[in-house]
Amino acid sequence: MSANPDPKAKGKQRSVWSLVVMSVLMFGFAFALVPLYDVFCDITGINGKTSDTASVSSERVDKSREVTVEFVAYINPGVRWTFEPEVKTLVVNPGQTHTINYEARNLTALETIGQAVPSVSPGTGAKYFNKIECFCFNHQPLAGGETAKLPLVFYVDPELPDDINTLTLAYTLYNAKPAETAKTQ
């Protein structure tokens, strides 16, 4: 008898190692996908992400132009809050500062911490929508049954391209901490 290993066993071992290497590569790709997507969105200006830092008020107002701003609110499944803007649309002059409020109410008996994530449509208009003050910059803790007015102070940059006449600002509300964490605090 020879000391050569069984060719079938060698093939199985090679297959197992190939699967392990592919699994590690797939995990690495999935892990890198979010930062790569963010870089892609920054370069192309798509996805409607707004800045997560406060802007300074515009000094120039374009009174010759009007832009309609629509306000929308979504609640991530599992978040037991009501969350909606006090106004659905607002016609603004680019450069003019406006304040609106969103109203949030915790429908549970426990304190819950929410986080609103904004997006603007069309995506190319996102960099022209400037937030001076926004509840989305911070977590929003609400006691059980508590209601809060959440202010948004914003302006539309006068450099907004002429072909964009409507901007839609949508917030999605998420639980900032899982329910188990909120119960222990």
The pLDDT-based confidence of 10 (bands split at 50, 70, 90) is confident
Range of the domain at 33: 1-44
pLDDT at 29: 78
Write 16-24 long-range contacts (CB < 8 A, 24+). none
50 domain-assigned = no
Q: Any idea which of 33-47, 52-66, 101-115 has the lowest mean pLDDT? A: 33-47
**Average pLDDT of 13-35?**
83
Residues 36 and 95 in one domain: no
Single out the residue of 174, 172, 55, 173 nearest to residue 121, CA to CA.
172
- Residue 86 counted as domain residue: yes
Mean pLDDT, residues 87-107 taken together = 96
Please state, rounded to an integer, the average pLDDT across all residues of the chain. 84
Q: For 108-125, what is each residue's pLDDT tens digit?
A: 999 999 999 999 999 899
